[in-house]
Amino acid sequence: MKDKVVVITGASSGIGKALAYEFASRGASLVLAARRIDRLKQIEDDLSDANVLVVQADVSREEDCQDLVNQAVVRFGRIDVLINNAGISMRALFADADLGVIKKLMDVNFWGTVYCTKSALPHLLKTKGTVVGVISIAGYVGLPARTGYSASKYAIRGFLDALRVENLKTGLHVLVAAPGFTASEVRQAALTQDGSSQGQTPRDESKMMTAEKCAWHIAQAVKKRKRELILTFVEGKLSVFLGKFWPGLLDKLTYSHMRKEPNSPFI
């Protein structure tokens, strides 16, 4: 990855931040995007030995995504890797949720991926580069009380799978990366039924895969030009396997597992 130009959205915390440090350690030039510019500048200061550009961007806005790509090309002249990592979650039953919550998740998670990929695609085709979608096991397994989240992640997977087929002859590499439960801020910021932030995680983050380990696996998958990356065994690989062959059993196991969360919205 030395001297490759890597664009990372949602880079101010969690997996995105860990990806910034991981790719910097591999010699890449970085373009880091997020809404919280103060956090991005702290990362830029910390990575003083790396070549880093930080851009304040809300990926739900098409013009912000276009500006992000334009700034990356003006600064570095090329884009080799685009990692669509920005995303938000939710925790509410669909029956109780304001539809604005579902729309916001689709705007950030799905449309943010589409907007950034559309703007970066001409540059990625020139370099025969890589586009990555960081989804979730929720993009393979419907998670209760996360209808909007699962819908957005399934949509990203379908979009990128189709994009891969379209570009079989162009040299574009498309990676769908699906972490299992990973320690990050995503659960604290998850939206409740009225659109307010949850504020605290319902899970023991210390028992989850670290963001740093997740970032290492994603970087390796980019390096090896893999098409799919499913992380963690039980919540990841096993769930996907059961979904293919015993979907009814997976539904029951998923329901039982998720209802055990503290203050679960369903019984």
What CATH number corresponds to the domain at position 154?
A: 3.40.50.720
Note whether residue 267 is domain-resident. no
Contact yes or no for 7/79 (Cβ under 8 A): yes
Decide if pLDDT at 248 tops 90.
yes
37-51, 150-164, 188-202 — which is least confidently predicted? Answer: 188-202
Question: Residue 264: inside a domain, yes or no?
Answer: no
Torsion sign over Cα 106, 224, 70, 25: positive
Residue 253 lies in a domain: yes
Q: Work out the average pLDDT over 8-26.
A: 95
* Residue of 223 and 264 predicted with greater confidence: 223
- In a domain? residue 266: no
Q: Give the structural domain span for 194.
A: 5-259
Instruction: Answer yes or no: 149 catalytic.
Output: yes
Comparing 208 with 106, the larger pLDDT belongs to 106
265 found inside a domain: no
- The Cα 167–Cα 236 span in angstroms is 27
Name the percent of the chain lying above pLDDT 70. Answer: 94
- Is 91 part of a structural domain of the chain? yes
Ranges 150-154, 196-200, 255-259: which has the least confidence = 196-200
Q: What does the CA dihedral 60, 50, 25, 76 come to, rounded to 10 degrees?
A: 60
Q: What is the C-alpha to C-alpha distance for residues 25 and 89, in angstroms, rounded to an integer?
A: 29
Q: Is residue 161 part of a domain?
A: yes
pLDDT band at 186 (very low <50, low <70, confident <90, very high): low
Total of domains in the chain: 1
Given 115, 140, 149, 154, which residue is catalytic? Answer: 149
Percentage of the chain lying above the pLDDT 90 cut: 77
Bridge partners of residue 173, in order along the sequence: 130
User: Residue range 172-188: average pLDDT?
Assistant: 81
pLDDT bucket at 197, cuts 50 / 70 / 90: confident
Is 187's pLDDT higher than 60? no
Confidence category of residue 233, pLDDT binned at 50, 70, 90: confident
pLDDT of residue 184: 63
**Residue 170, domain member (yes or no):** yes
pLDDT at 201: 58
